[in-house]
């Protein structure tokens, strides 16, 4: 792993803001190969899944949901490939999703035969609209589905004692379910699975559809943690979607509200507006001095692999990693950045206006920080000449050069290269050159 360059320099104690902060990385679970994949126009091929799997391992994921093998033959085959070709490192646990139906649960355990350790992720839907309009059942009917599913998972697991089993339950549509009913149905599953402090069950709380302010979702999570039975024998997991654009915020607040684990995808691929973006959340932690325990120091590699597997382009302004994130076009920003960069000592904590982290931590270069277009002031052109061509202009010349630079950029309606700035400089100040 190439670790983040500046990580050691960030001092948590040096926080300038009051309030609650996340103090440590959560357990992460990537659902790229399941939730991410099921939302693609063209689902991943076996080769693409293998490519994505390798990336997830390289990034440091220890829990990876690899598919829904009872619902999809390619998912089944991929799980078999992982197990039969010894592709799962000892410290990594695969997870598979299954609906609470007997025949699907049986097929899921067949798919997992021979796994050293696996998380079986059982779910059924719990919200009023799902109960009343989709399943046409009352609350007792829905609880019954969960109870029978949990029993079936437990008895199937006993048929394969060589595998170390971890059970996970999701009340799908938790975010739109009455909170006391969500507690009741999870308590029913917990009664069946009988978790222990050293043999925990994962209860995963999904914002299947993000329906509220992120703090309201976090309040639900807090209430849940306070009212569910055997809290100390549970891992409380969060699975948010981005319908209101707040999936990361909701997951972060849910951690503050007592959750332990976060499910999401790289760059936020997933159903509709996507799943919670793990890259953004991990880098948010990093920027606050917390080691995210995932290695995003080479985001270009992440972007290339995700784009190749999903055929979805990454937005150039994607938080932390988009290609335009470490650029500044406006003159005042350029000037401020230039002043800070010249004062930034390598051994000191990073403290540069408009650049919350050192772009080098993500393999990006200082050169690309400043670009020159019609919005730039004098600082940008001077910086470009200095950085790229080694030409240092006195201040009065920087001022003189600003107008022709701006005019050319306006005519050209785009960015100027260092060589163009140099040509302008020669035309205006060295006419006989
Ligand atoms: O969004 C969701 O609710 C899911 C569950 C199956 C966990 O993906
Ligand atoms: Zn989901």
Q: Which residues are annotated as a binding site for Mg(2+)?
A: 35, 239, 241, 275
pLDDT at residue number 2: 35
Dihedral sign from CA coordinates of 367, 347, 19, 218: positive
Task: For residue 115, give Cα distances in angstroms to 64, 144, 187, 195.
Answer: 14, 29, 28, 21
Q: What pLDDT was estimated at residue 9? A: 42
Strand 201-207 and strand 234-240: the pairing is: parallel
**pTM for the structure as a whole:** 0.90
Ligand 1: nearest atom to the Cα of 31: 8
Q: Which residues line ligand 1 (CB under 6 A)?
A: 35, 97, 123, 170, 172, 204, 206, 208, 239, 241
For atom 2 of ligand 1, the residue with the nearest CA is 208
d(CA 265, ligand 2 centre) in Å: 10
| Weakest mean pLDDT among 113-117, 257-261, 371-375, 401-405 | 371-375
Nearest CA to ligand 1 atom 8: 35
How far is ligand 2, taken at its centre, from the CA of residue 173, in Å?
9
Closest ligand 1 atom to the C-alpha of 173? 3
Q: Which of 265, 270, 301, 269 is nearest to 282 (CA)?
A: 265
What's the confidence (pLDDT) of residue 181? Answer: 98
CA of 272 to the centre of ligand 2 (A): 10
- pLDDT score at 8: 42
Of 240, 124, 261, 137, residue with least CA distance to 182: 124
Range of weakest confidence among 142-146, 241-245, 377-381, 389-393: 377-381
State residue 21 phi and psi, 5-degree precision.
Answer: -130, 155
Decide if pLDDT at 11 tops 60.
Answer: no
Given pLDDT bands bounded at 50, 70 and 90, which one contains residue 328? confident
Find, among 26, 109, 6, the residue nearest to 293 by Cα. Answer: 26
**Cα R_g (the chain), whole angstroms:** 26
Mean pLDDT of 287-313: 94
Q: What is the number of other CB atoms lying within 10 angstroms of the CB of residue 390?
A: 7
Q: How far is CA 145 from CA 71, 97, 125, 361, 372, in A?
A: 18, 16, 9, 48, 62
Q: From the centroid of its chain, how far is CA 147? A: 32
Q: Whose CA is nearest to atom 5 of ligand 1?
A: 172
The position carrying tokens 């290695």 is 295
CA of 39 to the centre of ligand 2 (A): 10
Give the ligand whose atoms come closest to the C-alpha of residue 175. Answer: 1
**How buried is 58 (Cβ within 10 angstroms: 0-12 exposed, 13-18 middle, 19+ buried)?**
middle
């Amino acid at each position: 792993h190439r670790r983040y360059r500046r990580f050691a320099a960030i001092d948590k104690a040096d926080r300038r803001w009051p309030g609650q902060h996340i103090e440590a990385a959560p357990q992460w679970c990537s659902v790229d190969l399941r939730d991410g994949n099921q939302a693609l126009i063209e689902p991943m091929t076996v080769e693409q899944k293998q490519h994505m799997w390798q990336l997830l391992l390289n990034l440091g994921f220890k829990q990876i949901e690899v598919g829904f093998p009872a619902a999809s033959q390619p998912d089944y085959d991929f799980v078999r490939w992982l197990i039969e070709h010894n592709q799962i490192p000892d410290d990594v646990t695969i997870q598979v999703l299954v609906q609470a139906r007997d025949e699907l649960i049986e097929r899921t355990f067949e798919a997992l035969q021979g796994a050293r350790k696996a998380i079986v992720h059982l779910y059924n839907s719990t919200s009023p609209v799902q109960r009343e309009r989709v399943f046409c059942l009352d609350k007792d009917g829905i609880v019954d589905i969960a109870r029978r599913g949990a029993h079936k998972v437990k008895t199937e697991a006993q048929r394969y004692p060589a595998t170390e089993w971890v059970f996970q339950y999701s009340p799908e549509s938790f975010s739109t379910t009455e909170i006391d009913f969500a507690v009741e149905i999870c308590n029913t599953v917990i009664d069946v699975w009988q978790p222990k402090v050293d043999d925990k069950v994962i209860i995963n709380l999904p914002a299947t559809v993000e329906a509220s302010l992120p703090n309201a979702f976090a309040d639900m999570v807090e209430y849940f943690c306070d009212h569910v039975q055997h809290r100390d024998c549970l891992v409380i997991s969060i699975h948010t979607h981005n319908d209101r654009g707040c999936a990361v915020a909701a997951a972060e607040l849910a951690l503050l509200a007592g959750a332990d684990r976060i499910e999401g995808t790289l760059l936020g691929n997933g159903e509709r507006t996507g799943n919670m973006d793990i890259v953004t959340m991990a880098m948010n932690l990093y920027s606050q001095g917390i080691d995210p325990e995932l290695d995003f120091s080479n985001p270009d590699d992440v972007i290339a692999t995700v784009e190749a597997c999903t055929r979805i382009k990454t937005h150039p302004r994607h938080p932390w990693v988009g290609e335009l994130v470490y650029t500044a076009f406006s003159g005042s920003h350029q000037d401020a950045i230039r002043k800070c960069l010249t004062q930034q000592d390598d051994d000191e904590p990073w403290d540069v206006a408009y650049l919350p982290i050192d772009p080098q931590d993500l393999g990006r270069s200082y050169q690309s920080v400043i670009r020159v277009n019609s919005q730039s002031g004098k600082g940008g052109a001077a910086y470009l000449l200095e950085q790229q061509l080694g030409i240092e202009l006195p201040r009065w010349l920087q001022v003189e050069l600003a107008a022709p630079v701006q005019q050319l950029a306006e005519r050209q309606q785009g960015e100027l290269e260092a060589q163009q700035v140099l040509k302008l400089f020669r035309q205006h100040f060295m006419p006989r050159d």
